[in-house]
Structure 1
């Protein structure tokens, strides 16, 4: 697992592996053993905005898992990204609501 610091807000990337799909959801197993359910999305970008003014942008997200403390995304180029909670807005560039 790799951790980076951007504008005072922590973001973590992690590798996961697919264990199957059902009902248009993609299931992944997290490193801690938790089963994660991802919904397919099609977004050009999403920008998370934090109270301190910092921003974090994710391009070409294809899968989204919303958890109590974070959002987990998979991008078209297979990057696995965890965005920590605490943001106060998300700007999404897409053709319509997908999730």
Structure 2
């Protein structure tokens, strides 16, 4: 009878100092983070990124964050005012191959 009692699952988990599951044993090693520990930095970075634009602040306001307490955003110039769109040189008139061949055709006729 004593041999049958020592093989029961309840007797193995009642040993002091031993974790009752493999998950607890892995967590006690210290190398595995909880999901909340992994998500928390990403959540904070996303919130900080949303605070930097007017559109992001409107998203935060819809989610219930107090965005009226944040400092006012600096005035940004539109990208077309400070980015050079062309190099200034005109495009050739006969860019297509038919336009280039037409003068040659006239010379041969």
Give the structure-1-normalised TM-score.
0.16
Structure number with higher relative contact order (C-alpha < 8 Å, ≥ 6 residues apart):
1
| Rg (Cα) greater in structure | 2
Give the structure-2-normalised TM-score.
0.15
